[in-house]
Amino acid sequence: MSEKVRREADGYPCWVDLSVPNVDAAVIFYGNVLGWRFSETGPEYGGYQMASLDGVQAAGIGPQEGKNPSYWVLYFATGDVEATVAKARDLGGSIFVEPFDVATQGRMAIVADPTGAMFGLWQGREHHGFGASERPGFFTWAEVNTRDADKARDFYSELLDATHAETQGTGTTYFSLMKDGKAIGGILQMNEQWEGIPPHWMVYFEVADISAAAAAAKEHGGSVAVEPFDTPFGRIAVVGDPAMAPFSLLQRLAVPETNS
C-alpha cells in the first residue's frame, strides 16, 4: 500500500518520535501493540528507526542519550523553523535544541513551553511527517498536561496561530486548540492525580481493539497505568512502554450505520 506524500500545514501536528535506552525492546513492544514494522536508517541518523504500517510512515524511535526520562515528542509543522523558534522565545518558551539540519530530511528544533512541556518543530524537506493519522496504528490526538493551562493556552494559541475553546465536563480545566475549524490538540490542567509528574505532551495512538492492545502492552514488557475506560470520544487507556514512556490508546466510537 502506498500513499501520496502528506504535508501538514503550519501549526499542525506532523510527527512523533521517541528516544529510549533499548531500541530493540521498543521495536518488539510497539510492533506487537500497534502492529508497526521497522526499518533502519543510515548511520548519519544515529540508529534511528522508522516505524510504518502498511507501508505508511507512522513514527520514529531512536537511542536515548543520557538518563533523562523517556517521553514521546510531538512535532508541529513549520515552514520556517528559525522564525517559529524566535516566536516561541518571545512568547516565553525555552529553546532546548536550536534549529539544525537532519541530513536532507528537514530541519528541526526542540522547545519547551512556558510551563515546562517540551515539543518539537519540524520544517520538512524530504520527510514531511506521518503519512496518515486518525486511523488504527497511527497518531490520533495529543494534549499537553500542564500545571498552568491558561498560560499554555495563550502560548500555543499565539505560536500556532490557533483559536481555543474550553471543554466542559472533563473534571479539570481543558482547552481544545483549533485551526481551520479542526481540533489539533488539547491542553489539560494537571491536578493532584498528576502529583510528581512533570508537564509533558501526551500522545494518543488509535487502535481497533483497545482491550487487545492493552493486553499486548502488558505481555510485551509494558504496563497499563489506566485501564480502558469510556469517554464521549471512545475508549481510552494510558500505557507505559518498557522504558516507562507514557502514551495513550484510543478506540473510537463506532459510527452507526444508516440506511440509504
Q: Which of 204, 183, 202 shows the shortest CA–CA distance to 194? A: 202
* Total-model pTM: 0.93
pLDDT of residue 255: 53
Report whether 99 contacts 170 (CB < 8 A): no
The reported pLDDT for the residue numbered 253 is 82
CA 7, 207, 149, 92 dihedral sign is negative
The 10s digit of each residue's pLDDT in 92-107 is: 999 999 999 998 999 9
259/255 Cα distance (integer angstroms): 13
Q: Find which of 6-20, 148-162, 193-207 is predicted with most confidence, using mean pLDDT.
A: 148-162
Query: Is residue 142 over pLDDT 80?
Result: yes
Residue 4 has pLDDT above 50, yes or no: no
Strands 174-179 and 106-112: unpaired
pLDDT tens-digit series, residues 64-73: 887 778 999 9
d(CA 81, CA 174): 28
Residue 23 has pLDDT above 90, yes or no: yes
Sign of CA dihedral 158, 161, 165, 171: negative
Q: Supply φ then ψ for residue 3, to 5 degrees.
A: -135, 160
Average pLDDT, the chain: 91
**Residue tagged 440506511 (cell numbers):** 259
pLDDT over 70 (residue 2) = no
Encode pLDDT of 168-184 as tens digits. 767 789 999 999 999 99
Q: What is the pLDDT of residue 7?
A: 67
Q: Which of 34-43, 66-75, 204-213, 225-234 has the highest mean pLDDT?
A: 204-213
Length of the chain: 260
Distance CA 143, CA 184 (A): 9
Give the pLDDT score at 170: 72
pLDDT at 9: 86
Q: Tens of pLDDT along 212-258?
A: 999 999 999 999 999 999 988 899 999 999 999 999 999 998 754 54
pLDDT score of 46: 74
Q: Stretch 133-149: mean pLDDT, rounded?
A: 96
* pLDDT band per the 50, 70, 90 thresholds, residue 1: very low
The full set of domains in the chain, from first to last, is 13-124 (3.10.180.10), 139-252 (3.10.180.10)
pLDDT tops 70 at residue 77: yes
191 Cβ contact list (under 8 Å, min separation 6)? 172
User: Is the per-residue pLDDT at 91 higher than 50?
Assistant: yes
